[in-house]
Amino acid sequence: MKQPAAAPAATNKAVFLDRDGVLNREIGDYVWEPDKFIVLPGVPEALARLKQAGYYLIVVTNQAGIAKGLYTAANVQACHAKLQHACGDLLDALYYAPSHPSVSESLLRKPDSLMLEKALARFRLDPAQCWIVGDRLRDLEAGARVGVRGILVGHTEAGTQAPWAADLRAAAELVVASGQAA
């Protein structure tokens, strides 16, 4: 009796990207209106650098304002369309968690890792070759749950030993340099 062929091993690599504070300006409140959605300087160039180095680019963002009734999924998708356009359509996938702990629980919401798990399966990613870039420890915690290394951007949070970069451009250089050293 012939045995079924084993599934090929995952070999692809990706950079998971938090949205607010990494890709677009954090405004201290929910960012859901396209006219207030401002892509940060250097983001398109950083994404192009990562793409050139062979990484899938996957956005993973908590969007609690949906659960709170402040805005809709269509508002989030409009912001994502603006982001894609500004970045030359380099993003391979955009995942968002529409829940908030005060309203509903979800494994999608970071620091849980379901958004990353979905992308790992969809793109056949090797977690050991992946990174997550975020501006909060919860972003890095979601990555750690699935074996993905993290880089904190923008500021450091007390008690963290995570690699740090000033912005996405600097984080992209760390990621690319690590891949060349491997």
CA–CA distance from 90 to each of 31, 55, 81 (Å)? 21, 10, 12
CB within 8 Å of 74: residues ≥ 6 apart: none
Q: Decide: residue 94, CB within 10 A, 0-12 exposed, 13-18 middle, 19+ buried.
A: buried
Contact 26, 39 (CB under 8 A): no
Name residue 96's beta-bridge partners. Answer: 61
| Helix runs in the chain, H state only | 43-52, 64-67, 73-86, 114-122, 137-145, 168-181
Helix (H, G, I), strand (E, B) or coil at 133: strand
- Is 18 a catalytic site residue? yes
Active-site annotation, residues: 18, 20
